[in-house]
């Protein structure tokens, strides 16, 4: 087997993704594999970079459709360069900044709630006595807006 071609098991070990996730991502058009004469998947070593990008993008909260759109901007005729990755990563920097802001607000809200010493669900801003938050709409309305957005379940 060529040095730059990996089996599904090798890619799973190197990437940390389950083989089933690799098959799913291939079916979803996020990664590509060739088939051996026996029909087994063979991946170019460069797929490891794509998988690292997928993992990072999922942690930021990008959907698989968004990830697919970004990956489609990479060159097909050559291995993507650092400049290629930088260009597409910049497109979700603002989203990452919003996610960080939402997590900081959540952390600070929990710190003030836990640190206040009230020990009272009637006065705690993180609780919802008498369901007063129902008037503000569906979901966990006390969370920062970014953390209330629906997320796509990962594989």
pLDDT for 62: 84
Residue pLDDT, tens place only, 31-70 = 999 998 998 999 999 899 889 989 988 887 788 998 999 8
Percent of the chain past pLDDT 70, that is, above it, reads 75
pLDDT for 105: 79
Domain ranges (residues) in the chain? 5-91, 94-148
pLDDT for 24: 95
Residue pLDDT, tens place only, 14-38 = 999 999 999 999 999 999 999 989 9
DSSP string, the chain: --TTEEEHHHHHHHH---HHHHHHHHHTTSS--EE-TTS-EEEETTHHHHHHHHHHHHHHT--HHHHHHHHTTS-SSS---HHHHHHHHHTTHHHHHHHHHHHHHHHHHHHHHHHT----TTT-TTS-GGGGGGGG-SS-TTS-HHHHS--PPP-
pLDDT for 152: 60
Residue pLDDT, tens place only, 67-101 = 999 888 888 767 788 898 888 888 888 888 888 88
Taking residues 126-134, report their average pLDDT.
65
pLDDT for 58: 87
pLDDT for 82: 87
Q: Average model confidence (pLDDT) for the chain? A: 80
Topology of the domain comprising 5-91: Multidrug-efflux Transporter Regulator; Chain: A; Domain 2 (1.10.1660)
Distance of alpha carbon 33 from the chain centroid: 22
């Amino acid at each position: 087997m060529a040095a730059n071609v990996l089996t599904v098991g090798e890619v799973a070990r190197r990437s940390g993704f389950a083989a089933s996730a690799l098959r799913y991502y291939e079916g979803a058009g996020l990664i590509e594999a060739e088939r051996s004469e026996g029909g087994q998947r063979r991946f170019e070593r460069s797929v490891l970079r794509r998988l690292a990008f997928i993992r990072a993008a999922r942690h930021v909260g990008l959907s698989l459709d968004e990830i697919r759109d970004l990956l489609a901007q990479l060159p097909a005729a050559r291995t993507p360069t650092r400049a290629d990755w930088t260009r597409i990563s910049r497109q979700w920097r603002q989203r990452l900044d919003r996610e960080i802001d939402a997590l900081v607000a959540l952390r600070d809200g929990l710190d003030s709630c836990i640190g206040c010493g009230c020990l009272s669900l009637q006065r705690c801003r993180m609780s919802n006595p008498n369901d007063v938050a129902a008037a503000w709409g569906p979901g966990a309305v006390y969370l920062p807006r970014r953390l209330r957005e629906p997320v796509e379940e990962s594989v």
